[in-house]
Chain A
Amino acid sequence: MKIESPQYQNDPFTGEKNHCIKATINGMTAFVPTDPDNSDYAEILRQVDAGTLTIADAD
């Protein structure tokens, strides 16, 4: 899975911080919830742990 340019997003309606990660996944714009049950989020964390990916802070 090719994950590029991940950045945390804040929820504009609830105010929840880092509720998801915006990234390009296999060429598509994706919004990955920070939910441990979500396999894309697990893969992002795996790549972060491996030192091959960094998640930018929310704007």
Chain B
Amino acid sequence: MSKAAELAALIGSGQAQGNKNLIINGAMNVAQRGTTSSITSGTGNFGPDRFRFQINDLGTWELSQSTTVPSGQGFSNSLKLNCTTADTSVAAASYLVLQQRIEGQNLQQLKWGTSSAEKLTWSFWIRSTKTGTISIEFQHKNSSSAYYNRGSTFTIDSSNTWEKKTISVPANTAQNIINDNSDGLYVTFWLTAGSNWTGGTFNTSAYVTGGAANTRVSSSIVNHADSTSNEIYLTGVQLEIGDVATAFEHEDIGTTLAKCQRYYFQYGPHPSVATFRHFNPAYANDCYCSAVQSFPVEMRAVPTVAYSAITYQNADNWGTSSGERNQILTYSMSTSATVISGAYIAGNGTDYAYANAEL
């Protein structure tokens, strides 16, 4: 195919248009949470925004935004996974997972559940100390809230070397994707997993629901937690319609930040300026000091609001009133009738609060 014909085909498919990447923050440029150390168990979004790390019984890990990037590709940042305590024995229930969850209403252009369902191409740059197989999984939720999944694999060929990988994601013509603000599609790296996930016949042939857990991950995967020398870097993550991995769509930081803030917004830590403040003038004991805290963008859902530490000024009992997706009212109780009362997140470089509406 000539270059002109190839371009025409891409334009016709929509791939050459802007906003083609279904992944948010694929270049890892937004990391509101900073670095998270000593992750040993549980689930959460810890490093660069929108990427969710899940671990069970596989050492201790640090998740951070790194400036180690593949040369000549225009990237400034990557997601870094660093094993800080090794575990050489993978128990049956162990797993190490990195994932992005995508809202169903952002996926309706895929037309899944119809004969016109679009296939996808997932591409990314990865660098890993450990070579060998990594298992991946595509899992989507239909309008009946049933989950369908199928897997695939790719291989790290050279240790500590940036490699670009391209994965084909088959369409599902039989099942749709739920059209709302909930979790429509998961794209998942199963970095390491135990026999509870790998013990069966790996399902790579079709989207299935209700299948055995032990068919979800390839038994060929390696243990990325077996040495404190192990690191994994990831950047340039792109998921796009079609069967061609086109050039990564670099995005301005303001656009990426706003997309991330739909799911998570952090106040502080700031080295000198207090945030998240509410104050009332002197009025009476036990009256409410309150203020509406507006979010920079409307969030996916009414968020959880949390703080690491609150500083009170003649007040106590911080709380939240009923919230909305774009704002929430915070309050505290005045303890003095004669002075200004309120509460805030101190600008001391440590304290912070967040609003969380992640999937």
Residues of A at under 8 Å CB distance from B? 1-2, 9, 11-14, 16, 19-20, 22, 25-33, 35, 37-41
Measured CB to CB, the closest approach of chain B to A20, in angstroms, equals 6
Count of A-B residue pairs with CB < 8 Å: 73
A31–B301 CB distance below 8 A: no
Q: Given the known inter-chain contacts A12-B331, A29-B307, A35-B302, please indicate yes or no for A22 contacting B323, CB distance below 8 A.
A: no
A30–B304 CB distance below 8 A: yes
Tell me whether B322 is interfacial, beta carbon within 8 Å.
yes
Of the candidates A1, A16, A41, the one whose C-beta lies within 8 Å of that of B43 is: A1
B307–A1 CB distance below 8 A: no
| Nearest chain B residue, comparing its CB with the CB of A37 | B301
* Per-residue A-contact encoding for B339-359, CB less than 8 Å = 1, 0 else: 000000000000000001111
New A-B contacts (10) at CB < 8 Å, excluding given A19-B322, A33-B304:
A13-B288, A13-B322, A26-B42, A28-B307, A29-B307, A30-B305, A31-B304, A33-B303, A39-B357, A39-B358
Task: Please list the 6 inter-chain residue pairs (A to B) with the smallest Cβ-Cβ separation, ordered nearest first.
Answer: A37-B301, A30-B306, A31-B320, A33-B302, A28-B306, A40-B304
Hey, which chain A residues are within 8 Å of B271, CB to CB?
none
Best-buried of A14, A20, A22, A25 by chain B (most CB within 10 Å): A20
B302–A22 CB distance below 8 A: no
Q: Give Cα A18–Cα B110 distance, bound, in whole angstroms.
A: 39
* Per-residue A-contact encoding for B175-216, CB less than 8 Å = 1, 0 else: 000000110000000000000000000000000000000000
Hey, which chain A residues are within 8 Å of B329, CB to CB?
13
Hey, which chain A residues are within 8 Å of B288, CB to CB?
12-13
Q: Given the known inter-chain contacts A25-B306, A38-B302, A38-B357, please indicate yes or no for A20 contacting B320, CB distance below 8 A.
A: yes
| Nearest chain B residue, comparing its CB with the CB of A40 | B304
A31–B44 CB distance below 8 A: no
Q: Given the known inter-chain contacts A12-B331, A28-B306, please indicate yes or no for A37 contacting B322, CB distance below 8 A.
A: no
Hey, which chain B residues are within 8 Å of A22, CB to CB?
319
Hey, which chain A residues are within 8 Å of B356, CB to CB?
40
Tell me whether B308 is interfacial, beta carbon within 8 Å.
yes
A14–B322 CB distance below 8 A: yes
Of the candidates A2, A9, A35, A39, the one whose C-beta lies within 8 Å of that of B42 is: A2
| Nearest chain A residue, comparing its CB with the CB of B36 | A26
30-44 of chain B: CB within 8 A of chain A: 42-44
Measured CB to CB, the closest approach of chain A to B203, in angstroms, equals 25
Measured CB to CB, the closest approach of chain A to B262, in angstroms, equals 13
Hey, which chain B residues are within 8 Å of A20, CB to CB?
320, 322-323
A31–B319 CB distance below 8 A: yes
* Per-residue A-contact encoding for B39-65, CB less than 8 Å = 1, 0 else: 000111000000000000000000000
Hey, which chain B residues are within 8 Å of A40, CB to CB?
304, 356
Q: Give Cα A48–Cα B310 distance, bound, in whole angstroms.
A: 28
Q: List 8 A-B contacts (CB under 8 A).
A: A13-B329, A25-B306, A26-B44, A29-B310, A30-B304, A31-B305, A32-B304, A33-B303
| Nearest chain A residue, comparing its CB with the CB of B301 | A37
| Nearest chain B residue, comparing its CB with the CB of A9 | B319
Hey, which chain A residues are within 8 Å of B182, CB to CB?
37
Tell me whether B300 is interfacial, beta carbon within 8 Å.
yes
Q: Given the known inter-chain contacts A9-B319, A12-B319, A20-B320, please indicate yes or no for A35 contacting B44, CB distance below 8 A.
A: no
Q: Give Cα A11–Cα B331 distance, bound, in whole angstroms.
A: 11
| Nearest chain A residue, comparing its CB with the CB of B353 | A28
Hey, which chain A residues are within 8 Å of B305, CB to CB?
30-31
Hey, which chain B residues are within 8 Å of A26, CB to CB?
42, 44
Q: Give Cα A39–Cα B126 distance, bound, in whole angstroms.
A: 29
| Nearest chain A residue, comparing its CB with the CB of B333 | A12
A28–B302 CB distance below 8 A: no
A1–B44 CB distance below 8 A: yes
Hey, which chain A residues are within 8 Å of B321, CB to CB?
11-14, 19
Measured CB to CB, the closest approach of chain A to B128, in angstroms, equals 27
